[in-house]
């Protein structure tokens, strides 16, 4: 389970029940406020001047997490910090599940547009997004 901090992570935490019958671990960004997780990556975004540098560091941190945990599935609600983990899943033949943000009713996120091409299962929380993601599965609200 991996996502950026804040609302994306809050949505992902709604899936905590999956931990009752499955071995899961949590990855998010290291931020000033409390976000309980097993692993933390460096917070970054496309507008960050150190984006490339931070993504490289996150790639190495992600590799370390991957080697320790050896996940069969990667479940994410986005954003940029998930890219290394998502592509590792695809390269290593594991399943990638992407859940588009609840906040997106009529338009797509950047990460969603990218993950739509690679996700084994792409879930939307609003039926209106079927126009943008025709092959997505409408799962309803994660809340």
Bigger pLDDT: 41 or 143? 41
pTM of the model: 0.92
SS3 8: helix
Q: Each residue of 108-121: pLDDT tens digit?
A: 999 999 999 999 99
- At residue 83 the predicted structure's pLDDT band, cuts being 50, 70 and 90, is very high
* Mean pLDDT of the chain, nearest integer: 94
- Every domain of the chain and the residues it spans: 2-138
Tokens of 132: 């943008």
Q: Each residue of 125-142: pLDDT tens digit?
A: 999 999 999 999 999 999
Query: Which pLDDT does position 88 carry in this prediction?
Result: 96
> Which residue, 35, 37, 5, is CA-closest to 24?
37
End-to-end CA gap in the chain: 16
For the domain covering 2-138, report its CATH number.
Answer: 3.40.50.2000
CB count within 10 Å of CB 135 equals: 8
d(CA 102, CA 47): 23
Query: Which pLDDT does position 48 carry in this prediction?
Result: 84
Query: Which pLDDT does position 31 carry in this prediction?
Result: 81
Query: Which pLDDT does position 102 carry in this prediction?
Result: 92
Alpha carbon separation from 142 to 14, 53, 57, 83 (Å, rounded): 7, 33, 31, 22
Query: Which pLDDT does position 33 carry in this prediction?
Result: 74
**Residues 133 and 124 sit within 8 Å (Cβ to Cβ):** yes
Q: Is the bond preceding residue 128 a cis peptide, omega within 30 degrees? A: no
Query: Which pLDDT does position 16 carry in this prediction?
Result: 93
């Amino acid at each position: 389970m991996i996502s950026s901090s804040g609302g994306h992570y809050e949505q992902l935490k709604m899936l905590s029940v999956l931990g009752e019958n499955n071995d899961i671990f949590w990855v998010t960004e290291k931020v000033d406020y409390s976000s309980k997780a097993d692993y933390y990556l460096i917070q970054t975004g496309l507008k960050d001047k150190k984006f490339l540098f931070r993504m490289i560091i996150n790639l190495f941190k992600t590799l370390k997490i991957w080697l320790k945990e050896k996940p069969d599935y990667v479940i994410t609600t986005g954003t940029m910090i998930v890219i290394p983990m998502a592509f590792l899943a695809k390269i290593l033949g594991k399943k990638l599940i992407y859940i588009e943000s609840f906040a997106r009713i009529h338009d797509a996120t950047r990460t969603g547009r990218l993950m739509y091409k690679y996700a084994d299962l792409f879930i939307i929380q609003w039926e209106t997004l079927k126009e943008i993601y025709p092959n997505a599965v409408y799962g309803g609200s994660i809340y």
